[in-house]
Amino acid sequence: MTAVRVAVAFHSGFGHTARQAEAVAAGVGSVDGATAELVPLDELTDATWAALAAADAIVFGAPTYMGSPSAVFKAFAEASSKVWGADLGWRDKIAAGFTNSKAMSGDKLNSLVDFAVFAAQHGMIWVGLDIYPGWSESTASIEDLNRLGSWLGAMAQSDADLSAEKAPPATDLRTAHALGARVATITQRHLRGTLAA
């Protein structure tokens, strides 16, 4: 058991992506020795930056708005340039990402690509999903893990007329949970390797 801390840094305008963030955090917590901290990005305080600095891994999450991460997330990304400028303060942390939107596609992939490029600019190490696309054969089910078929990170879909109590559906929250567990496990391996080196 290796103790690791995973920050889930997220924005959610109406609560749907917050449900996904909570599922990622629960997935982290399902791994022995791993703890998750939810870090909302609506207000960027000293505590926000301290939580991210203390984390071994950061999972970035935001709703897809107009085909990219929400403006609140982008404001956070730009503000993080001060960490970038301080000798790549997040260098070698593990990174991953998730996004939620109303359409099945909704151009969610663009948000995940944005997160991955952002992590690369910070010298972080990106971890994707390791789950074959679900719900993609005639006998497959909407309940399959990774039903939206993403490799780069976890996707969720929320019907536009449903509140955050009802969307995204459990199937997508299970996929988010799986991403959290994977990030925790990979972070443990990464830390053990670093300590052994």
**Residues engaged in binding ligand FMN (CB under 6 A):** 12-17, 63-67, 100-103, 106-107, 158, 160, 164
Cα 70 to Cα 128: distance, rounded to the nearest angstrom? 21
With respect to ligand FMN, which residue has the nearer C-beta, 160 or 196? 160
With respect to ligand FMN, which residue has the nearer C-beta, 127 or 155? 155
Give 99's DSSP letter: E
* Least CB distance to ligand FMN at residue 19 (A): 8
Amino acid at 154: A
Q: Give yes or no for a contact between 175 and 154, defined as CB atoms under 8 angstroms apart.
A: yes
Token look-up 């970035």 returns 60
Question: What Rg, from alpha-carbon coordinates, does the chain have?
Answer: 16
What is the three-class DSSP state of 82? Answer: helix
Number of residue whose CB is nearest ligand FMN: 106
With respect to ligand FMN, which residue has the nearer C-beta, 27 or 63? 63
With respect to ligand FMN, which residue has the nearer C-beta, 31 or 59? 59
* Least CB distance to ligand FMN at residue 155 (A): 10
